[in-house]
């Protein structure tokens, strides 16, 4: 394609080094074409063959028929970036394979003749160098360079709210609490209210009430029967709130989707990650409700490496698909200086720094003391990156399961909500 459209393929062709080509004849031809492109000389099948002849490469090292056969391959110029990346990837793979072969041969000899520290050090250095070279060869050269600061600041700063004053697109929330402390119900309430076009803490319509948010729920803990009962109850609450406001019913099959994985999933494996991305692609959620955290991989919950890999997977999906993420986690068992249970999530400390917002539901001192808490303090265990209208205390209500216990909360809400 470079021989037919050199002006369109120049950059991609020059991103491939001559030594990245596998066949010697291809390498020789690549040198000729690359030098002609750099010199801004006309490039087409005839000029390339003439140049190769002038260098004494025809017919021993460059067969003219190879040049004309390449033209007949019929690749489109638009495919150049993909093909160039493929050639670089294969070159990097050969580099690693050659290094691995040399290392295996060296170790085979060492096992019979003896090995000392110098041999090991030399082998490690060689392998490390090969890995570095392979990484450089396979680097994606299509990635845009850093944005100049002036250009970056010139972009209008517009909020992309899902819930005005509460949640923006692509933000992450982790809810914690004691076992049976109401966090699963609150997650269900947040998800269902958002899908139903009502504010998740007041039940009032969001705007006209027709701006429902698409929600995908991946429940990795509860049984299908448990979740069915909980969502049926919660959807009834939202339907009642909409009816009270004079709004038409929600088509829940268009707004909410659910997949039950009570055994958990392993996002450290390619299989489950691919499955989750397919589910996200097919449902296009604005909000992904996923969790709890400890059932998203099979490694030790305290393992920092596993935690880093998990958040990398989740953040990559979030960046590609543009959804906000809501998940829950169990709170640790430690108490603070006042004897109150700390609400930071159990497991790796990385989860304490990762989300934009982290809130825990802790039984309030004003709670009447029943088997299940009916009044909870909403404790922020992660310093919020921005101010948001989250209530500081919740109590059970007949309108929604959890509603603000502080009447002044309603005064903090944006008028557009």
SS3 305: helix
pLDDT for 175 equals: 97
Alpha carbons 234 and 228: distance in angstroms, whole number = 10
CATH code that applies to domain 1-143: 1.10.860.10
How is the chain split among helix, strand and coil, in percent rounded to 5? Answer: 45, 15, 40
Average pLDDT, integer, range 44-67? 88
Higher pLDDT, 114 or 219: 219
Instruction: Identify the residue with better confidence: 56 or 257.
Output: 257
Q: How far is C-alpha 151 from the geometric centre of its chain's CA atoms?
A: 26
Per-residue confidence band for 15, with pLDDT thresholds at 50, 70 and 90? confident
For the cut 60, the answer to whether the pLDDT of residue 49 exceeds it is yes
- In this structure, CATH architecture of domain 161-412: 3-Layer(aba) Sandwich (3.40)
- How do the domains of the chain map onto residue ranges? 1-143, 161-412
List the one residue out of 338, 328, 51, 399 whose CA is nearest residue 172: 328
> pLDDT tier at 305 (50, 70, 90 boundaries)?
very high
Collapsed DSSP state (helix, strand, coil) of residue 112: helix
Element (H, E) at 317: helix 304-321
Determine if the pTM surpasses 0.85.
Answer: no
Distance CA 174, CA 187 (A): 10
* Per-residue model confidence (pLDDT) at position 154: 95
Is residue 85's pLDDT more than 70?
Answer: yes
Residue 31 exposure: Cα atoms within 13 Å on the Cβ side:
11
């Amino acid at each position: 394609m470079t021989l037919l459209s050199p002006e369109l393929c120049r950059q991609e062709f020059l991103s491939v080094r001559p030594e990245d080509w596998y066949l010697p004849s291809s390498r020789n031809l690549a040198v000729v074409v690359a030098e002609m492109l750099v010199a801004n000389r006309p490039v087409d099948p005839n000029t390339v063959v003439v140049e190769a002849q002038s260098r004494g490469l025809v017919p021993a090292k460059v067969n003219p028929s190879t040049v004309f056969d390449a033209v007949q391959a019929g690749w489109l110029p638009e495919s150049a970036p993909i093909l160039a990346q493929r050639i670089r990837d294969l070159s990097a793979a050969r580099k690693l394979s050659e290094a691995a072969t040399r290392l295996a041969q060296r170790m085979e000899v060492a096992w019979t003749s003896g090995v000392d520290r110098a041999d090991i050090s030399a082998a490690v250095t060689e392998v490390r160098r090969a890995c570095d070279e392979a990484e450089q060869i396979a680097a994606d050269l299509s990635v845009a360079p850093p944005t100049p600061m002036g250009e970056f600041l010139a972009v209008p700063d517009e909020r992309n709210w899902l819930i005005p004053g509460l949640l923006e697109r692509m933000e992450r929330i982790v809810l914690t609490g004691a076992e049976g402390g109401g966090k699963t119900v609150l997650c269900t309430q947040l998800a269902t209210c958002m899908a139903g076009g009502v504010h998740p803490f007041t039940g009032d319509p969001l705007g006209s009430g027709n701006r429902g948010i698409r929600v995908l729920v991946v429940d990795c803990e509860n049984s299908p029967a448990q979740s069915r009962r909980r969502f049926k109850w919660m959807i009834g609450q939202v339907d009642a709130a909409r009816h009270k406001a004079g709004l038409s019913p929600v088509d829940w099959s268009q707004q909410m989707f659910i997949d039950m994985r009570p055994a958990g999933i392993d996002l450290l494996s390619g299989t489950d990650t691919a499955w989750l991305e397919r589910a996200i692609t097919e449902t296009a959620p604005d909000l992904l409700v996923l969790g709890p955290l400890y059932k998203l991989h099979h490694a030790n919950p305290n393992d920092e490496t596993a935690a880093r890999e998990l958040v990398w997977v989740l953040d990559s999906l979030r960046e590609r698909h543009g959804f906000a993420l809501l998940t829950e986690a169990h709170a640790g068992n430690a108490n603070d200086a006042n004897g109150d249970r700390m609400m930071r999530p159990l497991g790796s400390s990385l989860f304490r720094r990762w989300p934009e917002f982290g809130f825990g539901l802790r039984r309030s001192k004003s709670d009447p003391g029943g088997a299940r808490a009916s009044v909870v303090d909403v404790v922020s265990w992660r310093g919020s990156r921005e101010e948001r209208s989250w209530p500081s205390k919740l109590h059970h209500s007949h309108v929604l399961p959890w509603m603000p216990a502080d009447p002044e909360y309603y005064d903090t809400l944006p008028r557009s909500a």
